[in-house]
Amino acid sequence: MKKNRLLILGAFLLTLFRAEARPGPVLNMTDLASTADVIVLGKIVSTRLVGVTTLDLGAEKVPSRVMAAELHAQEVLKGPPGTSDITVQFFLPGYFIGYETPPVGTSAIFFLNQTGQGYNFTSPYYPSVVGMPTGAPEGGALLDRLTMRVGAVIESTETSLDQKRQAVFVLGETPGAISTQLLRAASRLYEPTVRLNAVAALLRRNDISGLKPAAEALLGSAEDLPSEVTQNLLSGIGLVKDPNAVPTLATLLKQGRTPVRRAAAFALARTASPGAIDALAQALDDGDHQVRYYAVIGLADITGQPSRRPNADDFRDRESSYLGYWKEWRMAR
């Protein structure tokens, strides 16, 4: 049963992000922090071409330039103290394969590994994340110190909206109480893309402190939100499982557009709350196949009837049978 639920969760996320997929792994701040030999906050002052090569990625061979970046470290967060000027070698592929080019002239946190020739970036996909000095005393866990420097980007009056959005993204992929606190602060900002992306990141943690503004945004005009923000909110809504969210989720299920109703129905099923039964029972009559499916599996889970919980293929083949059973059950309540 647990495996089936994971498959359903994966299918739900795939319906949201099929068009947004990018090559390479997802950002994992915990892994980056633990596997890097050296982590510095600083700026790249210049880059230069040092050669050409071919990257052998197994399935494809990608022509690439070999570059060297001159990195000036302002703070050493991990590694030998006193490190200041570092030369880092990296690859610049001939076409996009997910590798990111490190920023030049912008304060950032860089993750480095030592090699026989000097330094490489720990991950070609995430050579750095946005970050700024905090002025706070040193001490505490490494991940917490990194998190505070990412959060400083949001709090600064000198950073751009794009940098603040990047910081929200990084905080969303960073576990811990500090990142949650910083996301809550960002969710109260006036600028809507920063605020709502922070709300979405909180919802993915099952933190419903921003559920009301998320619902208001999703029930508003679709043209008022960038598509990226809408997708982030939908994925966040769909991962909520706090029973206290049931009333707002029920409203979204009743009033929202099709993608909103899908996310709301999926979340209501995840709450495993008896309070979600009425909304899910009404959703059996929804005009969307996916919403009806989430209603059926939610009712089966909440009422403890695993034999009436189909997988997606079974529901597609015998939808009328499952709907018939649950509608009769609804009438007999």
Q: Give the Cα-Cα-Cα angle 325, 276, 197 (nearest 5 degrees).
A: 125
Average pLDDT in the 225-237 region?
94
- Alpha carbons 300 and 314: distance in angstroms, whole number: 14
| Cβ-Cβ contacts under 8 Å for 199 (sequence gap 6 or more) | 187, 210, 211, 213, 214, 233, 236
pLDDT band at 14 (very low <50, low <70, confident <90, very high): very low
**Residue corresponding to tokens 């402190």:** 209
Q: What is the pLDDT of residues 107-148, one digit of tens each?
A: 999 999 998 878 999 999 999 999 999 976 677 899 999 999
Write out pLDDT tens, residues 239-280. Answer: 999 999 999 999 999 999 999 999 999 999 999 999 999 999
**Proportion of the chain above pLDDT 70, given as a percent:** 92
- Distance from C-alpha of 224 to C-alpha of 141, rounded to nearest angstrom: 40
Q: What b/e readout covers 153-165, taking b as 16+ CB neighbours within 10 angstroms? A: bbbeeebeeebbb
pTM for the whole structure: 0.88
Which pLDDT score, from 0 to 100, does residue 222 have? Answer: 67
The stretch 76-94 carries a mean pLDDT of 91
Domain ranges for the chain: 2-18+211-332, 35-132
C-alpha to C-alpha distance for 84 and 206, rounded to whole angstroms: 41
Q: Provide the CATH topology of domain 35-132.
A: OB fold (Dihydrolipoamide Acetyltransferase, E2P) (2.40.50)
Q: Rounded to a whole number, what is the distance in angstroms from the first to the last CA of the chain?
A: 26
Same fold: 2-18+211-332 with 35-132: no
Q: What pLDDT does 136 receive?
A: 67
Residue type, 108: A
Cα–Cα nearest to 245, from 283, 294, 210, 220: 210
Cα-Cα-Cα-Cα dihedral sign, residues 38, 39, 43, 47: positive
Write the single-letter amino acid at 273. Answer: S
The CATH homologous superfamily to which domain 2-18+211-332 belongs is: Leucine-rich Repeat Variant (1.25.10.10)
Q: What are phi and psi of 176, to 5 degrees?
A: 120, 160
